[in-house]
């Protein structure tokens, strides 16, 4: 079975917390940002029923009736408006249920939050096996509109659960096109992880692209549709609700599609750089050692590397010095010299926070096998 985003360790912790609360027969509010809430709700509904548990799902967005009337019309035969909350929770057809509701509008959230507070209070003395519990999932609703802690409801905000290593794992699952060289696949995974950060939709989009497209800002920008996402963010709560940021370790981590629009920010470039360093630096080191394995016995040691500094061990020489020595040796294939030159140029660029473009990466050969 192919893993979904919500099976990955970070997001899975959010799923398990909701699951544990519902099994303890506690009413739950699960708050998720825009464009993720519906996906999560569909997953959780299937996940819950796969465990041989029943969940009654109500479609209530756009329904202006009071929550009590909606529940009465759904689970009882009483005429609308004739049943009180106390009468509802005593109805045999409304006992021991798990009811899931997805809300996307502010008005719906306010109405159902007020109802849920009263429902929780009236159900508190019931036996847990007889108690019906509600799962209210919200999408794109700011946290300040959710029930306060003193209501005794369990409120879980999906914020900071996913990290780049979750996106790295998810990209492995999604990877549609495996690059011809293993290191290019590793680079693509690292780029997906660094650019997606916490957003499964961006991870999905990037995993389907070639490396050249992944490096383009427009690819990340296009994942954020036009409209409200282009407007300024007034505060972190609003940014979270709109799916523009998540808070990780107390720090707001903005969507790559959002920071790519900001011409004054270098954060998009920093994420690309972090991915390139993660993959390219070890390859340059591997190539450096391979060059010394092949030609180190011909080096004239010690080698002067400074005014009064000498190196006696060839394996302590930097890639630039290794290239300089080997290009002066007789009989070395020009292709090897070119690859060593490219390697030290790449290392020098990345060491100075400069990015490698798609064309440079296309020509990179991190091996001396010819």
Q: Are 193 and 165 in contact (CB under 8 A)?
A: yes
Domains and CATH numbers, the chain: 5-157 (3.40.50), 164-265 (no CATH), 270-363 (no CATH)
Q: What value does the mean pLDDT take over residues 25-31?
A: 94
Beta bridge partners of 30: 137, 156
- What's the rounded Cα separation, in Å, for the pair 246 and 158? 9
The confidence score (pLDDT) of residue 234 equals 72
**Is pLDDT above 50 for 226?**
no
pLDDT in tens, 130-162: 899 999 999 999 988 888 777 778 999 999 999
Q: Are 242 and 139 in contact (CB under 8 A)?
A: no
Q: What value does the mean pLDDT take over residues 205-233?
A: 82
Mean pLDDT rounded to a whole number for the chain: 90
More confident residue, 50 or 283: 283
**Beta-strand runs (E) in the chain:** 28-32, 56-58, 98-103, 133-139, 154-157, 245-248, 251-254, 303-306, 309-311
**Cα 324 to the chain's mean position, in Å?**
43
- What's the rounded Cα separation, in Å, for the pair 221 and 195? 11
């Amino acid at each position: 079975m192919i893993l979904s985003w919500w099976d990955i360790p970070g997001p899975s912790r959010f799923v398990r917390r909701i699951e544990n609360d519902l099994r303890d027969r506690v009413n739950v509010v699960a708050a998720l940002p825009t464009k993720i809430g519906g996906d999560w709700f569909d997953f959780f509904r299937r996940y819950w029923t796969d465990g041989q548990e029943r969940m009654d799902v109500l479609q209530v967005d756009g329904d202006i009736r009071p929550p009590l009337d909606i529940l009465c019309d759904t689970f009882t035969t009483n005429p609308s408006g004739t049943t009180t909350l106390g009468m509802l929770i005593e109805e045999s057809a409304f006992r021991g249920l798990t009811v899931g509701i997805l809300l996307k509008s502010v008005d719906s959230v306010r109405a159902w939050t007020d109802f849920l507070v009263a429902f929780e209070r009236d159900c508190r003395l019931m036996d847990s096996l007889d108690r019906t519990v509600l799962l209210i999932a919200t999408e794109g609703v700011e946290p300040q509109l959710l029930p306060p802690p003193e209501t005794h409801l369990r409120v879980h905000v999906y914020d900071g659960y996913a990290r780049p290593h979750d996106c790295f794992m998810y990209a492995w699952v999604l990877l549609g096109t495996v690059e011809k060289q293993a290191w290019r696949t590793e680079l693509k995974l690292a780029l997906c992880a660094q650019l997606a950060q916490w957003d499964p939709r961006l991870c999905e989009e990037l995993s389907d692209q070639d490396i050249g497209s992944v490096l383009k800002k427009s690819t990340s920008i296009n994942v954020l549709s036009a409209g409200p996402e282009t407007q300024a963010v007034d505060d972190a709560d609003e940014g979270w609700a709109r799916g523009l940021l998540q808070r990780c370790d107390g720090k707001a981590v903005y969507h790559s599609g959002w920071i790519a629009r900001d011409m004054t920010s270098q954060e998009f470039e920093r994420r690309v750089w972090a991915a390139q360093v993660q993959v390219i630096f070890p390859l340059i080191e591997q190539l450096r050692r391979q060059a010394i394995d092949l030609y180190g016995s011909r080096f004239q040691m010690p080698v002067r590397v400074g005014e009064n500094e000498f190196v006696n061990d060839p394996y302590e020489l930097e890639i630039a010095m290794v290239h300089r020595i080997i290009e002066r040796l007789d009989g070395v294939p020009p292709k090897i010299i070119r690859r060593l030159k490219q390697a030290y140029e790449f290392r020098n660029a990345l060491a100075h926070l400069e990015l490698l473009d798609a064309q440079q990466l296309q020509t990179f050969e991190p091996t001396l096998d010819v």
